[in-house]
Structure 1
Amino acid sequence: MKWFGALLIIAASTWLGFAAAHALYERPRQLRQLKAALRALEAEVMYGHTPLAEASAHIARQTATPVCELFFRFAETLRNEETSVVEAWEKSLQASWGKTALKQGELEVMKQFGATLGQYDRLTQQKQIALALAHLEREEEEAIDNQARYAKMAKSLGVLAGLLLVILLM
């Protein structure tokens, strides 16, 4: 029975280490998706002259989860509620951000972007999208650096923490 408990502890701690490493792998991927979605939004609004709700719905269909949920909720909020674009963006961020592997820095960039969404003419909006993309590019570089630095360590630490706990308990 002791050995079964020891194996269970090691398996659980290893799983936690791999889950932490998975979050480090997911963050750069989701940042790339977010940047692609913003570029698609720019194309829809600037060149297609598509309304924000419709453009967001198109982007939601083209983007993978969990980033697609942000744009889907944004489109639904714009269509179904009597609210401003900024409030709809804030609601969408709050509802979908917890399901992502993205950090506080990216949230701040997206909040700042949302504060300008629909407020200016097309040229200024294009500049705001470019600014948000530049910030997200910097965050992606940091995420890739963190992934290279800490993903393997998180896996190893999970296994080793489990072994340590088993040794201490025996």
Structure 2
Amino acid sequence: MLNLIGAILVLAAGTLAGFYQAHQFALRPRQLRELILALQRLETEISYGFTPLPDALERIGGGLKEPLKTLFIAASDYMSPDYGLSAEDSIRKALNMHWRRTSMKTAEKDVLDRLSGVLGTSDRQDQIKHIALAVGQLQHEEAAAREDQAKYEKMSKSLGLLIGALIVILIF
């Protein structure tokens, strides 16, 4: 009886691990799409709204879902007089603190890291060009993420169940 309960628990753990990995493959394209839309809103705020960068980041972050919401609001908070960080330092600090909560990879983080060096330090047109470049790179990453999702999402679910079954067979 105890062996049966143990086998069921091992099988359930393997299945849950597979479903978790499949969920990560599904989340990445959604988060990338949300990040692209947020950067496009930032571009609009900079070009037409004449909004200061901390206010724009806070406003954009307020309309996002977690974990990107926390990332944008934290970047805005770090630019406040309490912290006194530059735009580049505050965005990098927010990325380093909150990036692991996202399903995105380091390629997307690198795009935002490069963008942080330009925001708040150059003129409006230069910032708009760099945001457009970042959006283009993120769109490429989104296409790759959708391909990965199509390839690996179903396989991850099945593989989790099969690995759990293999462990049960090997143990018993």
Runs of 4+ more than 3 Å apart: none
Residue equivalent to 2:76: 75
Q: Which amino acid aligns with 1:25?
A: A
1:83-138 deviation digits (Å, cap 9, x = unpaired): 21111111011111010000011011110111111121111111000000000000
In structure 1, runs of 5+ residues without a counterpart are none
Residue equivalent to 1:32: 33
Residue equivalent to 2:131: 129
Q: CA RMSD in A?
A: 0.7
Alignment partner of 1:102 is 2:99: no
Q: Which amino acid aligns with 1:75?
A: S
Q: Please report the TM-score for the alignment, with normalisation by the length of structure 2.
A: 0.97
The aligned runs of 1:135-146 (5 Å cut-off) are: 135-146=137-148
The aligned runs of 1:2-41 (5 Å cut-off) are: 2-41=3-42
Number of positions where the alignment pairs a residue of Structure 1 with one of Structure 2: 170
Q: Measure the CA separation in 2 of the matches of 1:8 and 1:153.
A: 21
Q: Measure the CA separation in 1 of the matches of 2:76 and 2:153.
A: 35
In structure 2, runs of 5+ residues without a counterpart are none
Q: Residue 70 of structure 1: CA displacement?
A: 1.1
The aligned runs of 1:84-123 (5 Å cut-off) are: 84-123=86-125
Task: Give % identity.
Answer: 41
- Larger mean CA deviation between 48-57 and 76-85 belongs to 76-85
Q: Please report the TM-score for the alignment, with normalisation by the length of structure 1.
A: 0.98
